[in-house]
A and B are shown apart, each in its own frame.
Chain A
Amino acid sequence: MQSGKTLDITNDSCPITFVKIKLALESLAAGDILEILLSGGEAVKNVPRSLRAEGHRVVALEKQSNGTYRLLVEKEGASGKDS
């Protein structure tokens, strides 16, 4: 799946990660896909989960060969949402 925008937060930690994602999502329309590159450990444990909790849809999460993760998230508010 292609994304409209990419955000790299592999060098950030909580709560900076959340602030950057929030700002990135604000610039998108409902249903748009944001690609987020994030580090393993606490970031990958917390970021995808909290995006779901805020109503966004996690489309995919892939571990990269360098140990970081690539996350695709769909901004909340799109029609035909299944949850």
Chain B
Amino acid sequence: MDIAELKKGGFLKQLQKDYFAVRLRVAGGNLTLEQLETVHQVAKKYGKGYIHLTTRQGIEIPFIHFDHIDAVRGELFAGGIGLGVCGGTVRGVMACQGSYLCPHGHLDAKELSRQIDEQFFAAQVPGKFKISVAGCNRSCAKPQENDLGFGGVIKPVFRENDCIGCGLCADICPAAAILLQDGYPLLDREKCINCGECVTACPTAAWRQGEAGVRVWAGGRIGRDPKLGEVAVAFLPLAKIPAAIEASLGFFREHGRSKERFGKVIERIGWRKYREVMERAVRQDA
């Protein structure tokens, strides 16, 4: 077992001779108590009495000796936990709590992160590739700091019969897209940013959620040259998410240099070209 192979499998070499920090596979920051129990047991048996919470909602178990690597891997697998990844791969997918429990959420971010993890985790690409999913435009899961980020957006629909004319939607719309006309709201769909604040705030559910989708940001990263991602697709239907990821990974593989970040690749090749690739991939009839 060589070091490169170890690294691919989520074993990070420590300063201390023959010791590794073991990165675990976590999607959306959720672990069941059974999985947590497994982490506890493995860390207690082979580690040094603590675990490390990573910046990407993951877990690393430090101070695993080289001699115990196979045992650790086997016991984690038996307890329903896979190993994380390093290097040029699709990393663990982050997510906020999303619409499953957050009053602001317009997207089940945990579920989407689970699906993305299932389909794309550890996929090989030239450099590290980080994905995050946020339930709404409050961006708690920081999608703009990721190579590819998704944020829940919706198209609001209005039912006049339920409206009490309070005007709250017009007051709070961050895009000033709602004006009151004869006491009732009128939405300018050109101005609407699909954030869903009107749907969330409406006290009588006169504003309701219509079509749901995601906003897609690309090219974000922190690292040595931090930059927020740019909007690649303003409103992407949920069913097109896998195609958008596939197209982005394909673009990265075709144009990326070893260890280059996705955003740098887009900047070098051109946003226009990347957006063309995305548009082709997510067309409704595709």
- A residues adjacent to B (C-beta < 8 A): 40, 44-46, 48-53, 58-63, 69, 71
Cβ–Cβ contact B203 & A51, under 8 A: yes
Cβ–Cβ contact A52 & B171, under 8 A: no
Q: Given the interface contacts A49-B200, A50-B103, does A61 sit within 8 Å of B168 by beta carbon?
A: yes
Q: Is B202 an interface residue (CB 8 A)?
A: yes
Q: Given the interface contacts A45-B197, A46-B103, A50-B103, does A63 sit within 8 Å of B203 by beta carbon?
A: no
B155-212 contacts to A, CB under 8 A, are 164, 166-168, 171-172, 197, 200-205
Instruction: Identify 11 new A-B residue pairs, CB closer than 8 A, beyond the known A49-B202, A59-B164.
Output: A40-B171, A44-B171, A44-B172, A46-B201, A48-B168, A49-B103, A49-B201, A58-B203, A58-B204, A60-B164, A71-B203
Cβ–Cβ contact A61 & B166, under 8 A: yes
Closest residue of chain A to B203 (Cβ to Cβ) is A48
Instruction: Give chain B residues whose Cβ lies under 8 Å from the Cβ of A44.
Output: 168, 171-172, 201
Instruction: Give chain B residues whose Cβ lies under 8 Å from the Cβ of A63.
Output: 166-167, 171
Q: Separation in Å of the B172 CB from the closest CB of chain A?
A: 6
Number of A-B contacts defined by CB within 8 Å? 42
Enumerate 13 A-B pairs (CB-CB under 8 Å) in ascending A order: A44-B171, A44-B172, A45-B168, A45-B197, A45-B201, A46-B201, A48-B201, A49-B200, A52-B204, A59-B164, A62-B166, A63-B166, A63-B167
Q: Given the interface contacts A49-B103, A49-B203, A52-B203, does A60 sit within 8 Å of B197 by beta carbon?
A: no
Closest residue of chain A to B166 (Cβ to Cβ) is A61
CA distance A62 to B168 in the complex (A): 9
Q: Separation in Å of the B117 CB from the closest CB of chain A?
A: 30
CA distance A50 to B202 in the complex (A): 10
Instruction: Give chain B residues whose Cβ lies under 8 Å from the Cβ of A61.
Output: 164, 166, 168, 203
Contact of A60 among B103, B166, B172 (CB under 8 A): B166
Q: Which 4 A-B pairs have the closest CB atoms?
A: A48-B203, A61-B166, A58-B203, A45-B201
Cβ–Cβ contact A45 & B172, under 8 A: yes
Closest residue of chain B to A40 (Cβ to Cβ) is B171
Cβ–Cβ contact A45 & B200, under 8 A: yes
Q: Separation in Å of the A76 CB from the closest CB of chain B?
A: 14
CA distance A62 to B167 in the complex (A): 8
CA distance A51 to B166 in the complex (A): 15
Most buried by A among B166, B172, B202, B203: B203
Instruction: Give chain B residues whose Cβ lies under 8 Å from the Cβ of A46.
Output: 103, 201
Instruction: Give chain A residues whose Cβ lies under 8 Å from the Cβ of B168.
Output: 44-45, 48, 61, 69
CA distance A50 to B167 in the complex (A): 17
Instruction: Give chain A residues whose Cβ lies under 8 Å from the Cβ of B197.
Output: 45
Instruction: Give chain A residues whose Cβ lies under 8 Å from the Cβ of B171.
Output: 40, 44, 63
Instruction: Give chain B residues whose Cβ lies under 8 Å from the Cβ of A49.
Output: 103, 200-203
CA distance A41 to B87 in the complex (A): 44
